[in-house]
Amino acid sequence: MSGVNDFAFRMATVNGTGSASANSLLMQAIFRMGIPVTGKNIFPSNIQGLPTFYDIRVSKDGYTARPQEMDLVVTLNPSTYAKDVAAVRKGGYLLYDSSWPLEPDLVREGITILGIPFGKMCVENFEGDRNRTLLRNIVYSGALAAFLSIDMEVVGQMLTEKFSKKKGLLEANRRAIQLGFDYAKAHFECPLPFHLDHMDATGDSIIIDGNSAAALGAVYAGATVGAWYPITPSTSLMEAFTSFCKKFRTEPETALARYCIIQAEDELSAAGIAIGAGWAGARAFTNTAGPGISLMQEFVGLAYYTEIPAVFFDIQRTGPSTGMPTRTQQADLLSLAYASHGDTKHIVLFPCNPEECFYMSVKAFDLADRFQTPVFVASDLDIGMNDWMCKRLEWDDSYRPDRGKCLTADELESVKKFSRYLDAEGDGIAARSLPGVHGHGAYFVRGSGHDKHGTYTEDADAYQEVVDRLARKFRLAATAVPAPEIRTVKGAKVGIVSLGGCHAAVLEAIDRLRDMGIVADYMRIRGFPFDAPVRAFLDSHAVNFVVEQNRDAQLRSLLAIETGKPRDEMIPVLDYGGMPLTAMCVVNAVSGHLSKPSAKRSPRKKKKASA
């Protein structure tokens, strides 16, 4: 139930009207009031004219998952009136623009309808169509400040920061915010029963999106080459990397860029550039989404087989094909784990929020170098593009990149015959040599069959020796990827397994399930390949639920294939409509399954259980 510092509200607007920045301002103001807050931008694959929604959840307990229902909806887009009204919880509020008569669509029993003539107020107070459209967002923000007790001083301060260089705009925005605020105060009882009250719970936190955090990680890891092809929702990662590099990687004296960012002609080329740079010794990466991953398959196989490091950020969106480019999903799991033709397996990291995007980005570059292989970071649209409140990022300046086994000129000097793929130390990782370092290290990279010396071969044993070593190397990687996060509770009978962006909703669901008497342990997969603790967790519970955002239970398949745990002993909880997961989705699936009479028996007999 909603209450002080515990509620959710939605702004339903038309995209391209400037509402995004007003909504973001509201979220940041709440954050500055010291109250945990989350914002989810649900936007269309379009530049102007289609419906867009921004959901803000305020949670004194720090829950950050997408809210299930809205206490208040601001409805400013006639084309979504019906949907907006339906989103309001029973007893909730609807705020509409009363410049026009109340549409029948907006009438609903059991909710309170608030009307403010935003449009009329803007026409009366401001000049110019574009200006009026933009400022309408600020007027409703002012009204919300009154309804929800958003600190007007904080809002005023933020406007000053935002428009410090544009005094005219600052003045208009200040007037607009006050107009909305005053109107609400004068005409309605403010604040509403659910509202804000200053807290001190965000002091060690920041607001950041996952793509910016991942880009920052790439900077800290020492990446110098970035290649990409624009694609939603990964574009902002390279944009962030570009701006960080301009700031931190440009030599002040010479203005020389110590980095190279290339917008390629397509994703094939982007992958090729990253791999070429990785081969030549740089830390290189590319960022993309599902369609780009499809195009990169051939190069991924080349890098796997020839053992060249490169990092691939996959900001997953809803597939298949073009799918829904501005909706989230976790449906690339299998295509990442086994990307490319032939026997291939890849290291994949699964950040659950922007904070982890930062740390895992750094980790990905280290793993790529150490294991001389492509490494995927499987983020998603919700993590990548939405603003999240997370712990302040920390950095240890003693960090040194793990470049793996890379022979120096001195080491190569004494080498008589360099064998690129010789497992000299028995760990499955062969030393590599970089071009230009020493003639003794010269070898011929070939995606065709090669033996341990790197020489072309069509010999069965020589070929197998190399691919078997690759498998050994991959097994070793299981101990190097981030270990699963395991939370156990005394008396837990069921296990919940999940990954990535599901984390916030699953944590909340575990609390709600406990309220219902269902005690669950939790394992969050953070990396692939899986190490022994993953199977051990699955074996220690009679029932395991696997929560993920795709149709085909891909994580469950991956667990079954790689750990040998029978697939049907794991109950899938699936949510794949493209929206961030809600706790209720998990609660309903788990409690629903457990309340079925058949659930009392062995889970082995439960063939068709699903969410």
Partner 1 sequence: MTSITKPQVRHPGLKKNALGFTQRDYEGAMSTLCAGCGHDSVTAALVQACFELALPPHRAAKMSGIGCSSKTTAYFMRESHGFNSVHGRMPSVTTGANAANRDLTYIGISGDGDSLSIGLGQFCHAIRRNVRMLYLIENNGVYGLTKGQFSASADVGSTSKKGETNVQPPIDPVLLALTLGATFVARGFSGDKAQLIPILKAGLSHNGLAMVDIISPCVTFNDREGST
Based on CB atoms, which residue is closest to partner 1, 177 or 368?
A: 368
Stretch that binds partner 1, among 90-98, 266-274, 476-484, 594-602 (CB under 8 A): 266-274
Q: Is 302 in the site for partner 1 (CB under 8 A)?
A: yes
* Interaction of residue 266 with partner 1, rule CB under 8 A: yes
Nearest approach, Cβ of residue 408 and partner 1 (Å):
14
Site for partner 1 in 544-603 (CB under 8 A): none
Using CB under 8 A, which of 19, 75, 211, 269 touches partner 1?
Answer: 269
Q: Are strands 520-525 and 485-487 parallel, antiparallel or unpaired?
A: antiparallel
Give the x/- contact pattern for partner 1 in 157-196, rule: CB under 8 A.
----------------------------------------
Instruction: Tell whether residue 219 is a contact of partner 1 (CB under 8 A).
Output: no
Write out the binding residues for partner 1, residues 478-517 only, by CB under 8 A: none
Q: What are phi and psi of 328, to 5 degrees?
A: -95, 160
Tell me which residues in 443-482 interact with partner 1 (CB under 8 A).
443-448, 455-456, 458
**Residue 304 is a binding residue for partner 1 (CB under 8 A):** no
Beta strands in 451-517 (DSSP E): 485-487, 494-499
What angle (nearest 5°) sits at the alpha carbon of residue 595, between those of residues 592 and 598?
Answer: 110
SS (H, E, C) 15-28: CCCCHHHHHHHHHH
Among 118, 299, 474, 528, binds partner 1 (CB under 8 A): 299
CA 278 to centroid of chain Cα atoms:
25
Task: Tell whether residue 399 is a contact of partner 1 (CB under 8 A).
Answer: no
Of residues 280 and 536, the one with the C-beta less far from partner 1: 280
Tell me: does residue 328 bind partner 1 (CB under 8 A).
no
Short-list 316, 351, 343, CA closest to 332:
316
Q: Where are the beta strands (DSSP E) in 60-198?
A: 70-75, 88-97, 112-116
Interacting residue with partner 1 among 30, 88, 150, 282 (CB under 8 A)? 282
Which residue, 11 or 270, is less far from partner 1 as judged by CB? 270
* Closest distance of CB 369 from partner 1, Å: 13
Give the nearer residue to partner 1 in terms of CB position, either 308 or 579: 308
The CB-of-431 to partner 1 minimum distance in angstroms stands at 15
CB 367 within 8 A of CB 481: yes
Collapse the DSSP code of 53 into the 3-class scheme (helix H, G, I; strand E, B; otherwise coil) and give the result: strand
Which residues make Cβ contacts (< 8 Å) with residue 504, sequence separation at least 6?
63, 64, 65, 352, 353, 581
CB of 433 to partner 1, least distance (A): 8
Distances (CA, A) of 102 to 114, 140, 174, 400, 544: 10, 17, 28, 63, 50
Encoded one letter per residue, x for contact with partner 1 by CB under 8 A and - for no contact, window 226-255 reads -x----------------------------
Q: Rounded to the nearest whole angstrom, what is the least distance from the CB of residue 292 to partner 1 in the complex?
A: 14
SS3 at position 584 = helix
Site track for partner 1 across 428-447, x = CB under 8 A: -----x-xxxxxxxxxxxxx
- Which residues from 105-164 bind partner 1, rule CB under 8 A? none
Closest approach of partner 1 to the CB of residue 376, in Å: 18
CB 348 within 8 A of CB 335: no
Q: What's the longest Cα–Cα distance across the chain? A: 88
* Site for partner 1 contains 542 (CB under 8 A): no
Count the site residues for partner 1 by CB under 8 A. 45
Given the structure tokens 């995007």, which residue do they identify? 357
Residue entry with tokens 């995927």: 376
Please say which residue, 202 or 286, places its beta carbon nearer to partner 1. 286
Interaction between residue 277 and partner 1 (CB under 8 A): yes
Residue 225 or 240 with smaller CB distance to partner 1: 225
**Does position 411 bind partner 1 by CB under 8 A?**
no
CB 11 within 8 A of CB 40: no
Sheet containing 527-528, strands listed edge to edge, beginning at the edge strand earlier in sequence? 260-263, 225-228, 284-288, 310-316, 374-380, 347-349, 527-528
Integer CA distances (angstroms), 563 to 190, 414, 537, in order: 57, 43, 11
* Number of Cα atoms under 13 Å in the Cβ half of residue 239: 12
Provide the minimum distance between the beta carbon of 439 and partner 1 in the complex, in angstroms, as a whole number: 4
CA distance 72 to 144: 10
Residue 262 as a binder of partner 1 (CB under 8 A): the answer is yes
Does 295 participate in binding partner 1 (rule CB under 8 A)? no
How, if at all, do strands 205-209 and 225-228 pair? unpaired
280 binds partner 1 (CB under 8 A): yes
Which positions touch partner 1 (CB under 8 A)? Answer: 224-225, 227, 260, 262, 264-266, 268-282, 284, 298-299, 302, 433, 435-448, 455-456, 458
